[in-house]
Amino acid sequence: MAFCAVALIVLDCGSVPNGLNLIHLDLIQPAMKKLLIVYHSMTSGSLQMARAAAEGAAQEPQTKTRMLHASDTKFEDVLEADGYIFVTPETLGSMSGLMKDFFDRTYYPVMNHVQGRPYAAMVCAGSDGSNAVRQIQRITTGWRLKAIAEPLIVCTHAQTPEAILKTKCLTEEDLQPCREVGQAIALGLAMGLF
């Protein structure tokens, strides 16, 4: 946790050697930074990824983390945040419809108000996930956000209708990188790195 010390020094010719007297010392705590995790999940995979990212972010006490479902996220939530993690399933080779709806509803109201802010993208995919990542990157390029990590794709290898629709149970190996991204962006925000 970083603090800034502020001291008020006044001249007092009789009380302290060299004529300096320390009158007041305050510790000023920097403003709490805000991380917004926006997610959508159909079969629990991307929800588990978002929760893992939030767990990682919670390790940094100087960053407040909010996790909101894409359909509940408003443009005001985006404006209030200092950084973002976007988490979506891959659906028919693209980001999910509700994640796209989130971006559609918030894109223009926040344009030119969030440039330079950090973000990370996470995709829970059945086979590839790269097109969902490209879609998020195109949108975040328009917002002029700064990627702070390579996109994270967790591949479940679900290829049949039954496997695709089945509730996912991601492994610790899948979730640990999500925690690390959450912790990294929260720490970077708290330290003022971005």
Residues of the chain with pLDDT under 50: 1-13, 16, 20, 22-26
Question: Using only C-alpha atoms, what is the Rg of the chain?
Answer: 22
Structure tokens at 160: 């049949």
Are residues 184 and 60 in contact, defined by beta-carbon separation less than 8 angstroms?
Answer: no
Q: What pLDDT score was predicted for residue 31?
A: 85
Domains present along the chain, CATH in parentheses: 1-30 (no CATH), 33-191 (3.40.50.360)
Q: What pLDDT score was predicted for residue 28?
A: 60
| Confidence (pTM) | 0.85
- Amino acid letter for position 20: L
Closest CA to 119 of 79, 76, 142, 151: 151
d(CA 38, CA 130): 19
Q: What pLDDT score was predicted for residue 8?
A: 38
Structure tokens at 144: 């002029």
Tens digit of pLDDT for each residue in 43-71?
A: 999 999 999 999 999 999 999 999 999 99
Are residues 183 and 59 in contact, defined by beta-carbon separation less than 8 angstroms?
Answer: yes
Polymer length in residues for the chain: 194
